[in-house]
Amino acid sequence: MNQQPGKLEPWQWPEEHWRKLVGHVRAGRRYRPDCWKDGTRCAVALSFDSDHETNELRDGGTSIGRLSWGQYGNRVGVPRILALLERYDVPATFYVPAVAALLHPDEQRRIVGEGHEIGIHGWIHELNSALPYEAERDLMLRSADTLEHITKVRPVGLRTPSWDFSPGTLAIERELGLSYDSSLMADEDCYELMLDGEETGITEVPVEWVRDDAVYFMMNRFQSLRPYTPPRDVLDIFLRELDAAYEDGGLFQLTMHPHIIGYRSRIFILEEIIRHARSRTDVWFATHAQVADWAKSHAA
Ligand SMILES: [Zn+2]
């Protein structure tokens, strides 16, 4: 359906064609509740994408050094994050590729045992838009089954790896009966996802590159990719997002990675965010699934 007609250049596409492309997956009704649970003013949804070794494996990489970086996420990152969440009694959502869950099943059982949510994050962090529909569908179904088998809890939400959403992704999410997605960015409030103009009943909990630690901190030894924003500046950006969400009576959603935020020199960012939100009495810390449910059922 994304084939361009004939050999036309994009500037030659007929209006019908670009309208169909744009309209395929779209934001529908805005889910903006009058207030959040227990009359709170702002919802805070923290998420951690536990990619671990799959960032290297996904690209066919076999670098033992980069695989060890992934293992750091399991050995240091996740335990440090869980300890912090426990200290402040904050629930969060972890998105876990099935291969990472199979490599570290005890980590997933601990996460669920401590009251957090686990959502689908692909099989091996594959890029959905590079896959044929049948392969994407097969991997997504197996990923859901794998997480359920390990944790005994059926996941209800999905974050596409690298937020890479294919033309087939939403239909597969609907087939899986998921209640929400958290990969798209058409709004700051939750909204209903529309597929070719039809309501799907699936809620989007929108993400943003601005609220993603990887954008500021990723590095690659052999490419020019380097962190360029000091940790205190990243905290400042996140705090501004949080304060504005609070003023708005909206949602503050944040994406982090155990092998990125978990370092001694960076974990203070997460703690400061939690402390700042906790300093107000009318903030609701919730999992993404809880936010999606509340937003949809209490939309003004
Ligand atoms: Zn990821």
pLDDT in tens, 217-258: 998 888 889 999 999 999 999 999 999 999 999 999 999 999
pLDDT of residue 221: 82
- How many CB atoms are closer than 10 A to CB 222? 6
pTM: 0.96
Measured in angstroms, how far is the CA atom of residue 9 from the centroid of ligand 1? 33
Task: Measure 261 CA to ligand 1 centroid, in angstroms.
Answer: 13
Q: What is the pLDDT of residues 202-211, one digit of tens each?
A: 999 999 999 9
161 CA → ligand 1 middle, Å: 5
Ligand 1 center–CA 85 separation, angstroms? 20
Element at 133 (helix H, strand E): helix 133-151
Q: How far is the CA of 232 from the centre of ligand 1 (A)?
A: 24
What separation in Å is there between the alpha carbon of 151 and the centre of ligand 1? 19
pLDDT in the model for residue 7: 86
The band of 3, judged by pLDDT with boundaries at 50, 70 and 90, is low
Q: What is the pLDDT of residue 220?
A: 85
- SS3 at position 229: coil
Average pLDDT estimate for 147-173: 98
Considering only the C-alpha atoms of the chain, give the largest distance between any 2 of them, rounded to a whole number of Å: 59
Distance CA 88, CA 78 (A): 16
What is the mean pLDDT of the segment spanning 120-128?
97
CB 115 within 8 A of CB 90: no
Each residue of 43-84: pLDDT tens digit? 999 999 999 999 999 999 999 999 999 999 999 999 999 999
Average pLDDT over residues 84-97: 98
Residues 6+ apart with CB under 8 A from 173: 140, 158, 181, 200, 202
Residue-wise pLDDT tens digits, 263-282: 999 999 999 999 999 999 99
What pLDDT was estimated at residue 222? 84
- Position 4 scores a pLDDT of 57
Tens of pLDDT along 166-193?
Answer: 999 999 999 999 999 999 999 999 999 9
